[in-house]
């Protein structure tokens, strides 16, 4: 199997092969391109720590690594905002929420309701230490993004 992978500059690579007819009528294996999203200029993929974590009945995220990467520990005040099936968390003095005693992020119930997050749901959590920002996406949001990307790729 052929495998070339693009780097952070957004280079598209090829993965796998597909059959192509040759001049003599036989099939040959030719590389086919994998649709890869182009990266925004100036964004470093290694700048974010990514984790998939579940939500418990009290709205607590199981994985503490994203918070640790941000340097946010128990008692830190934060602001939590729900936007279109995603959740944005920033460190704010005087924020309405705090990191729990055991160092977990607890999503407020209005935020969970707004995003449709239920106990047992999984979230993709991205922590950006250089911006002191955490973004969590629901699986529904990821499915919508991926389907839009697939539609755009097919149209191109």
Q: Is residue 130 one of the residues assigned to a domain?
A: yes
Long-range contacts of 58-62 (CB under 8 A, 24+ apart): 58/106, 59/106, 59/107, 59/108, 59/109, 59/111, 59/112, 59/117, 60/100, 60/104, 60/105, 60/106, 60/107, 61/104, 61/105, 61/106, 61/107, 61/123, 61/125, 61/136, 62/104
Instruction: Specify whether 54 is located in the same domain as 27.
Output: no
* High-pLDDT (> 70) share of the chain, %: 71
Instruction: Specify whether 132 is located in the same domain as 111.
Output: yes
Could you list the residue range(s) of the whole structural domain that residue 58 is in? Answer: 48-143
* Local confidence band at 89 (pLDDT 50, 70, 90 cut-offs): very high
CATH number of the domain enclosing 83: 3.40.1550.20
Instruction: Specify whether 78 is located in the same domain as 62.
Output: yes
Number of domains composing the chain: 2
Q: Is residue 149 one of the residues assigned to a domain?
A: no
pLDDT tens per residue, range 42-67: 555 568 999 999 999 999 999 999 99
Instruction: Specify whether 73 is located in the same domain as 14.
Output: no
pLDDT tens per residue, range 94-112: 889 999 999 999 999 999 9
Q: What is the pTM of this model?
A: 0.68
């Amino acid at each position: 199997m052929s495998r070339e992978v693009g780097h952070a500059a957004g280079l598209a690579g090829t993965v796998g092969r597909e059959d192509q007819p040759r001049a003599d009528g036989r099939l040959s294996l030719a590389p086919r391109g994998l649709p890869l999203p182009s990266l925004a200029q100036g964004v470093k993929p290694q700048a974010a720590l990514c984790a998939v974590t579940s939500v418990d009945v009290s709205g607590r995220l199981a994985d503490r690594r994203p918070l640790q990467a941000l340097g946010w520990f128990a008692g830190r005040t934060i602001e939590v905002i729900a936007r279109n099936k995603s959740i944005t968390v920033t460190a704010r003095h005087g924020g309405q929420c705090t990191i729990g005693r055991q160092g977990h992020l607890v999503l407020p119930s209005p935020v969970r309701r707004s995003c449709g997050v239920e106990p047992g749901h999984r979230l993709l959590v991205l922590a950006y230490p250089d911006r002191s920002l955490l973004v969590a996406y629901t699986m529904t949001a990821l499915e919508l993004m991926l389907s839009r990307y697939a539609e755009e790729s097919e149209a191109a």
